[in-house]
Every structure is written in C-alpha cells, then in structure tokens.
Amino acid sequence: MCGIRFSCLIYNERQNHENEKNENKQQIQDSRSPSSHSGDSAKKLADTKVASELRNRGPDFCTTYSVNLTNSCIGTMTGCVLHLRGNLTPQPVTDETNNALLWNGEIFDGIQVEEDENDTQVLFNALTKCTGDDTVLKLLESIHGPWAFIYWQADVKKLWFGRDMFGRRSLLWHLPSLKDNQFILSSVATENQDFAEIPSVGIFVLDFTQPEVCPSLTLYPWCNCRWPGTSTKLIDTPGSELLRQLYPINSTNLSTKLDIKETLSSWIPSINKNLDIENFASESVLNVDQFLNQTELLHHILTSDSELNMLSDALIDVLQTAVKKRVTTLPRNYHVTTPQNVQTSDANIAILFSGGLDSTLLAALADRCTPPDESIDLLNVAFEQRPTFGKNKLKEKKQVKKKTRFPKDHSSSSAARPEIGLERIENGFDHLKDISQGSNKSDFEEISLGKSPDESSDVLNSSDIQKSHDTIITPSSHHDNVPYKNISFDPYDVPDRVTGITALGELNPNRKWNFIEINVTQEEVQKMRQSRISSLIYPLQTVLDDSIGCAVWFASQGVGVLANNRSHKIKSKAKVILCGMAADEQFAGYSRHRVTFNTKGWQGLLNEIEEEMWRISSRNLGRDDRIISDHGKESRFPFLDETFTQFVSTIPIYKRADLRLPRGLGEKLLLRLCAYKLGLFKTAVQPKRAIQFGSKIAKMDNRKEKGSDTCDRLNYN
C-alpha cells in the first residue's frame, strides 16, 4: 500500500514563452511588495500537509523522482510506501530508461507473484515489456485486487493512470484550467485546490508527444461501464456530455477523447436474470408463524432445500478463498512503536467488527485461514452518549445482564471445525432449541477475551463490561426535583458493542481474540474531525460522509481497551484490516431493496441489484481508503474479490435474498445460511444496522439532518 502523487505544470510552447516574461515581471513585483508571498506561503503549507498525509499512508519509505515530460515540462512523482509484501521496494520504481511506476494496490491473482516477491516490482517489470497500448491495457485488466496507479512510459511519453473497477483505492485529480496550470494526481488532496475523485470507469492516458500543444487525454473504458451513480453506459456518451461527466467540478483545457475501440474487460459480471421462482421457498414464506424463531426457520430452509444447502457450502468455500488471499499476503514479526502507557496487540490481522453478519462471517473465516497461534484483533467502535432528561425521566441504557458464554455443542459446529454440512447443523440446532427454552448453566462453556485459553480464565460478564467506564448518574445534580438516584449509565453501551460481544461468543473459543473497545468522546470527535478527518473525507461533503468517515477513522486507528482488561490502553499493530463492505449491494441488504421489492417485485429487485454493482465504485470506497490508510494500515475487501463477485453473479437473485421473509432473515438470506453453517446462530439472524447508527455517532451531534445534506461540520479551510 502506498501514498502516491504526481504533479506538473501543463503549458504549450507558446505559453511557456509568455510564462517566462510573466515570471520576470512577478519577480520585480515581489521584490517591491512585502505581502506578495502570502499566496506562496499558503501553497507551501498545503503541500506540507499533503506530504504529511502521504507519509501517514506509507510510513516505511518516501521518495520523490522527477521525469522529463517534454523539453520544457518536468513532472514530479512521490511515493510513500507501507511495506506489506516481499522486500521493501521504494517508489516510484524506475529503470535506466526513465520509466517510473507509482502503485497503490495489491495483486492477489491474474499476474503471478511469488510469496517472497514484491508485487510492485513484478508489475513494473511486466509493464516495461509492453510494446503498445493494447498490451498495457491487457496487463492491467488481468489484475485481481484493489489498485490505483500512475505510470510514466518514457519512450512514448505517455502518462498512464487510473483506479480498479470497484474504486477500492483513492486517486484524486486537480485539472489544469485557464486560471491554474497545475495538473495533479494524488491519493489525498491539497486543501486549497479543487480536487475530484477520478471516476473508476477505465484507464486514462495523458499524451505528451506534441509539446507545441497541451497534452491530450484519452480514456479507455471498461466494457459495459456506467457512469458512477447513473445507469448511463459510458460508450453511449456524446462528446459534450463526456466532458461534463469527467469534470463535474471545474472545466479544463485538456483535449479529451473516448477510445471505445480498446474497451477493457470488466470484472463486474453480468447478473443471472433467472426469475423461475414458483416453487422456491414457498412453504417457508407462507408458514413463518409455525416456527419457534428465525433461527429455526433458517434450519428448516437448509434441511428442506438441497440447492440452497449446496449453494451455501460453495459460497463459504469461495469467500474463504478470498479471505485467505488477504490474510496470508502480509508481513509478520514486525515491530511498531507506541507510547509507554499503551500496550501493543500481537495480531497481524484486524477486522472492523460490529458483530453484524458481514464482519462476523469474515472473522469466522479469517480464523480458519490464520495460524492457530496468532491472535486476531476485533475493532469495535462506540461513540459517547450522554444521558438525556425529559419530563423528569432518565432514559436508561440497556445493560448486558448475563455472562457471554459459548455453548459446548456449538463449538463442534463453529469455525473451529473446518468441515461444512448438515450433520453439524442437526446437533447445533437441537441444542439451540434447548437454550431458547431454558437451559442448565452447566451446558455452557465460558470463554476468555484477549487471552488464549491457557493464559486466562477471565469471563466477560456485565460487571466486566461496565467496570472501567460506568458512571453513576445522580440526576438531581443536573436537574432539581428528579426522583432518580444512582442509576447506572454506560455512555458506550451502543448497539454495535452489544452485538459485538454477542458475536464474539459464537467465534472459535480456541482462538485468541483481542476484542478492542474503542470508546470515543465528543471532544475527541470534534478535535480530530477538524485536524485530520475533514481533509481525508474531502472532496466528499455530506452528513453521511462525515458520520461514516469519523466512525471508520477511529475504528481503524485501533486504540482502545480490551474488553476483559480495561486498566491499560491497547493499540492494534495490524497493518491489514478486513472490511465487510459490498455484501449488502450483492445480497439485497439495504432497506431500499425491500422498498423496491415491495413496489416493483422480483424484476425490480433484480434491476436494482444489477445497478448496485455498476454503482459500486461510487459507494465511497475511495473515501474509506483515505480514512483507513491515514493510520498506515491497508483496507481489504473480501466481498469484492473478483472471483467471489463472479460466483455470486451466477446465483439467481431469489436465492441470494428472499424479501418475502421478515427483516433479519430475508435480506442476505444466503449469507445468513452460511453463518448458520459456521455455528453463528445468533449472528445469522441479526438485522442490518449501518455503522453510523450502530456506533451511535449519528446521534452524537443531536441534529435533525439527512445523510445527503451538506455537512457544515466538515471544514476544509
């Protein structure tokens, strides 16, 4: 992973002569005016901040390299590297012919990368062997994995750049105009300049072969690609509309064209449009009330539908392979420095962990793919909630009343066991029914948190949860005449904390899980939003961007306390963070999908899910990359693995989700069946809850806002 940046001044030869005259005049004026340097100072300050944020993304090595674009134009390339694979390789990678590559990505497949090789060097070697535009394009389109890149091809004077089809890595651009001749590509933005996210619609090439005119920009689009956020096919876009779509913020003097002769093969596959649903799950849907609970209904679906049973097995296998690629291609046994009063976890892998379906599935599968002696960090974020008083009544928070325990029979069907099948489900389900009807305490096995079984017998219970930060509220100290005293209130007892602890109890008890409680005060949010987070969210600016950006920034920072030992702060040292994004888009997990289904039926839902995949690059994964990478960590998205998305596309929509079933069951039905097979019985029926609501950051500012509103708390100045 890397922070990358390219910049140059774009003129034609005639402009260069004019600029020389203007520069001489400006030097005379500057010598006479003591205040004339304020603009330059502001620019240097902004560039210094960008350099700092690039180093945050790549703390292991930083290099700057200059390339001669034309006789009178020089480009500057900067790369700051987070070392993850093979030998530490400074960027940009260069050769004796002045080719240069900046690569912010991972090659998981498509191009052979040996275990001890660095994928940046492997890609650079392959690029330098390319003999024409078509060979460069074929090489790039073959890559499995997230990427953003900038490549200077010296012999033909072409600058190649772009992002992967899903937009998993950030790359912004500042375009030259009549007022500003700077052309900049960067992982992060300079605050006092207009930047926009480069749309993930294809590969761009800036051609410098004719120095007497401004360089021309060519776009090679992905096959069947749509403009982000629309249903309009890119290849159907007229020339005038092309400029508006590419440059929505400001105009540019770059000559731009679309080359549809060399469209790139897309990793976004065509969706299975089969809607032969007459006999599918009809009995289950029509007789929901006959089942004891939703878990029993899941069990019934698995045992009565052999095709869904086989599909869930296959889906687990494909997703596990995607997870394995992402937890094995990383460094181990590296050292990090932390303040004296902060301990460091020993995990190499971390997971953004809400205890919801998606993150818990990733945790269960990461457990299967990670060496048994390694711990895994579960990053669970909560934002401070202050008690509210209204009509002389304190709104008490729900408390976890009982110890979190792991049913003995469940361990035999959990992620601790590699095999998948109905023989495991029968035993687990019978025991689950016993639990729901009342069970003997001896039926449970207590689990430890943050320590391996032979190190500790600590048990997570309600007193452990509240011990370190419970506050005893005396309402009369805030408001007179309130008749409540000594009511316990935990400001971090948010929904994601509760579901996180519940889900932890369903994971492999033989694994050392570091459940890190990341508790964030209102003051911390306000401080870091202004000093760090706002500039990372930019150029996005909505209330939703603010809420999610803040939540992900604090979560991925990984600084908190262990759930069973709150006496010391702990920091996750993991350089790789698994994220559950994009499961909802593929398995109809959003509430809007249920609305579409209720109004337009199966065909409407099918169309919506197809559009979701084409909109995926505009779902702000670039924002999440900027946020997470600010801590020198890399986000990885198993649900967007190319092989996984292709496999999912072959599954009919009515077997991915059945929105005739109630909430917490019908959406993402196939993933819920997978979770059930992995022994995640409670997690399998958890309803969808977005991070801004589960962590309660959306309530922190106590404002009535829509997620699409412009957020006035984001200050870019």
pLDDT tens sequence across 343-380: 888 899 999 999 999 999 999 999 999 999 999 999 99
Are 297 and 183 in the same domain?
no
Dihedrals phi, psi of 83, to nearest 5 degrees: -75, 120
pLDDT of residue 215: 86
Cα 672 to Cα 676: distance, rounded to the nearest angstrom: 6
Please spell the DSSP secondary structure of 151-174, one letter per residue.
Answer: EEEGGGTEEEEEE-TT--S--EEE
Cα 631 to Cα 342: distance, rounded to the nearest angstrom: 16
Residue 645 domain flag: yes
Residue 19 domain flag: no
- Identify the band that residue 466 occupies on the pLDDT scale cut at 50, 70 and 90: very low
pLDDT of residue 97: 95
- Identify the band that residue 411 occupies on the pLDDT scale cut at 50, 70 and 90: very low
Res. 461: pLDDT tops 60: no
Are 295 and 212 in the same domain?
no
pLDDT for 118-151, tens place per residue?
999 999 999 999 999 999 999 999 999 999 999 9
Are 541 and 649 in the same domain?
yes
Residue 715 domain flag: no
pLDDT over 90 for what percent of the chain? 51
Are 208 and 305 in the same domain?
no
Of 97-111, 337-351, 502-516, 637-651, minimum mean pLDDT range: 337-351
pLDDT of residue 235: 78
Q: Residue 415 has which token pair?
A: 């992620």
Res. 588: pLDDT tops 90: yes
Residue 661 domain flag: yes
pLDDT for 473-518, tens place per residue?
223 333 333 333 445 678 899 999 999 999 999 999 999 999 999 9
Cβ-contact 128, 140 below 8 angstroms: no
Are 503 and 390 in the same domain?
yes
Cα 262 to Cα 218: distance, rounded to the nearest angstrom: 11
Are 231 and 304 in the same domain?
no
Res. 454: pLDDT tops 60: no
Please spell the DSSP secondary structure of 405-416, one letter per residue.
Answer: EEEHHHHTTSTT
* Range(s) of the domain holding residue 323: 282-700
pLDDT of residue 352: 98
pLDDT of residue 23: 46
Q: What residue has token string 């390789």?
A: 89
Q: Residue 399 has which token pair?
A: 């408390």
Residue 273 domain flag: no
Domain with residue 53: its CATH number is: 3.60.20.10
Cβ-contact 495, 696 below 8 angstroms: yes
Q: What residue has token string 């997470």?
A: 628
Max mean pLDDT among 5-19, 440-454, 476-490, 502-516 falls in 502-516
pLDDT of residue 340: 65
The domain boundary residue, chosen from 225, 258, 291: 258
Strand order in the sheet with 100-105: 93-94, 100-105, 147-153, 158-163, 202-207, 216-221, 255-258
Are 498 and 591 in the same domain?
yes
Q: Residue 164 has which token pair?
A: 């992967």
Residue 100 domain flag: yes
Number of domains in the chain: 2
Residue 388 domain flag: yes
Cβ-contact 57, 82 below 8 angstroms: yes
Q: Apex CA 267: angle with CA 265 and CA 270, to 5°?
A: 95
- Identify the band that residue 100 occupies on the pLDDT scale cut at 50, 70 and 90: very high
Are 242 and 329 in the same domain?
no
pLDDT of residue 286: 58
Average pLDDT over residues 324-343: 78
Are 295 and 229 in the same domain?
no
Task: Give me the numbers of helices (H) and strands (E) for the chain, helices first please.
Answer: 24, 27
Domain with residue 514: its CATH number is: 3.40.50.620
Q: From 402, 323, 377, select the one nearest 636 (Cα to Cα).
A: 323
β 389-390/393-394 pair status: antiparallel
Longest dimension (CA), the chain: 89
Of 58-72, 289-303, 473-487, minimum mean pLDDT range: 473-487
pLDDT of residue 245: 76
pLDDT of residue 486: 46
- Residues forming a β-bridge with 351: 378, 578
Scored b (16 or more CB within 10 A) or e, 186-218 reads bbbbbbeeebbbbbbbbbbbbebeebeebbebb
Q: Please provide the average confidence, as pLDDT, over all residues in the chain.
A: 80
Residue 174 domain flag: yes
β 565-571/342-344 pair status: parallel
Are 372 and 302 in the same domain?
yes
Are 320 and 352 in the same domain?
yes
Contacts of 139 (CB under 8 A, 6+ apart): 111, 123, 126, 127, 130
pLDDT of residue 409: 33
Of 296-305, 315-324, 695-704, minimum mean pLDDT range: 695-704
Are 219 and 331 in the same domain?
no
